[in-house]
Amino acid sequence: MSDLFTPAALSVSELNALVRSLLEQNLFGLWVAGEVSNLTRAASGHYYFSLKDSRAQVRCALFKGAATRLAAPLKEGDHIEVSGKISLYEARGEFQITVNEVRLKGLGRLYEAYERLKAKLQAEGVFDAERKQPLPPQPQRIGIVTSLAAAALRDVVSTLKRRHSGLAVVVYPTPVQGTGSEQQIAAAINTAGERQEVDVLIVCRGGGSIEDLWAFNEEAVVRAIAACPLPVVSGVGHETDFTLADFVADVRAPTPTAAAELVSPDRAQLRLALQRTQQQWHNRLLQHYYDASQKLDWLLRQLRHPQHSISAQRQQLRQLSTQLSLAMQRQQQQGQQRLAQAVQQCQHLRPNTAQAARQLEQQRQALQQHWQHGLQQRHTRLQYQIHLLEAVSPQHILARGFSVVTNSRGQVVRQAADLKPGQALHIRFAEGSTAVRVDQTGQAQTDLFD
């Protein structure tokens, strides 16, 4: 296939940038569990380590800002769970996790129950995008399912008031954690659906541990949200917390405040756009700082004091000098031995040059006579070939008035039937040549002077 149809090759930096973008856009909100290995703490306060299990490992970077939030410093062999940005360190093409949060491993049974229920509900189609409802663009009444004592309620109400003071708010109070709280949350959602007195429903609570948020992973709450006729927005925990209520809700918000912003009319679009742009630039600058810090730490580890290199070079120079001296001595001894042997052989093998000179002169004279005889034979044969070529030369035929007609491919035209109207021909005469073209009518042209 022609190279015109093959795609242009990517540079290594373009490939790494593409992989990094794909990872960051598609892998987020995940917790990864494993054992700390190859732990290094740089002078800058950043941690670098590998998170491994029995079959694989992944590089991790915990920068100083996030490391200060640790309850205790990381240790080699710790079994932890980490969450952060899954990305690619472009400078070296290394897959890594930039860690934002760390917690000790030990919640395996809850996660197993979480995954089993998630798989079951997903197989039933409870999480399908086709069943999700769009949010109303101009709601008038907002319903909130949460605890009256929760800080999340205050955050949601203050956000709604700030964004649109004319909105009516209906609260469906319920405990959001503790034994039996999942049944009460489900009952509050069912009540809101039966009354149909609000345009959209927010199910929310503030952040906490996985145990604190577990009521929103219970089947009763998930099925109540799925059966609710109202559009439901989930705002449970922090941005990195994901519950089954988030998957079944029509829209998932990272926080309760964000849920309030999603359901309320936006009268400050330019301000929010500016905030988003500011956050993007902050993230880019922060990532640039992380990359630069990581590169600086790596370069610092590569630095070596010049004295180490000088000492190694001096040692190598001494070794090479010793080897050179020994090699020169061996070479001198071998040369002296060969010279002595050659002198001894020359004394015993001195040739008789007189007889060889006479034989050489005889061979030279015989060779000269043979050469002159051969040259005369070739000269006679050459004169014969010249006369023969002149006798059959086409130039003699052309000199008698004949010409040679050839087509555009240099082939000789031997009969008129091979000609075509408009065909280009070349005619060679004894003196010169010319190009002609066959008349379109196929008839001979009358000379103007005939």
The 3 state secondary structure assigned to 216-282 is: HHCHHHHHHHHHCCCCEEEEECCCCCCCHHHHHCCEECCCHHHHHHHHCCCCCHHHHHHHHHHHHHH
Mean pLDDT for 42-58 is 90
Q: Can you list the pairs that 424-427 forms with residues at least 24 positions away whose Cβ atoms lie under 8 Å?
A: 427/403
Is 302 inside a domain boundary?
Answer: no
Is 391 inside a domain boundary?
Answer: yes
Amino acid identity, position 120: K
Is 141 inside a domain boundary?
Answer: yes
Mean pLDDT for 113-124 is 87
Per DSSP, 410 falls in state S
User: Do both 103 and 142 map to the same domain?
Assistant: no
Of 432 and 143, more confident? 143
Domain with residue 400: its CATH number is 2.60.40
pLDDT at 448: 47
pLDDT at 403: 82
Q: Confidence class of residue 440 from pLDDT cuts 50, 70 and 90? A: low
Domain with residue 220: its CATH number is 3.40.50.2300
User: Do both 192 and 257 map to the same domain?
Assistant: yes
Amino acid identity, position 363: Q
Ranked by mean pLDDT, the top range of 116-120, 202-206, 310-314 is 202-206
pLDDT at 450: 42
pLDDT at 246: 92
User: Do both 27 and 87 map to the same domain?
Assistant: yes
H/E stretch holding 65 reads: helix 64-67
Of 349 and 37, more confident? 37
User: Do both 18 and 97 map to the same domain?
Assistant: yes
Is 260 inside a domain boundary?
Answer: yes
User: Do both 141 and 99 map to the same domain?
Assistant: no
Average pLDDT value over all residues in the chain: 85
Domain final residue pick, 269, 301, 330? 269
User: Do both 166 and 231 map to the same domain?
Assistant: yes
**Number of compact structural domains in the chain:** 3
User: Do both 91 and 170 map to the same domain?
Assistant: no
Residue 207, pLDDT > 60, answer yes
User: Do both 94 and 154 map to the same domain?
Assistant: no
H/E stretch holding 436 reads: strand 433-437
Q: Confidence class of residue 110 from pLDDT cuts 50, 70 and 90? A: low
Q: Report how far apart, in Å, the C-alpha atoms of 196 and of each of 156, 190, 228, 316 are.
A: 20, 10, 10, 88
User: Do both 168 and 59 map to the same domain?
Assistant: no
Domain with residue 48: its CATH number is 2.40.50.140
Q: Which residues pair with 422 in a beta bridge?
A: none
Give the span between the Cα atoms of 220 and 222, in whole angstroms. 6
Ranked by mean pLDDT, the top range of 255-259, 336-340, 404-408, 428-432 is 255-259
Mean pLDDT for 432-450 is 66
User: Do both 27 and 93 map to the same domain?
Assistant: yes
| CB burial readout 23-38, b (16+ within 10 A) else e | bbeeeeeebbbbbbee
Portion of the chain with pLDDT greater than 70, in percent: 92
User: Do both 143 and 264 map to the same domain?
Assistant: yes
Residue 6, pLDDT > 70, answer no
User: Do both 184 and 222 map to the same domain?
Assistant: yes
Is 423 inside a domain boundary?
Answer: yes
Q: Where in the sequence is the domain holding 193, given as residue range(s)?
A: 136-269
Q: Is the pTM of the predicted complex or chain greater than 0.85?
A: no
Is 154 inside a domain boundary?
Answer: yes
Is 355 inside a domain boundary?
Answer: no
Domain final residue pick, 107, 126, 144? 107
Domain final residue pick, 269, 285, 313? 269
Is 76 inside a domain boundary?
Answer: yes
Residue 292, pLDDT > 80, answer yes
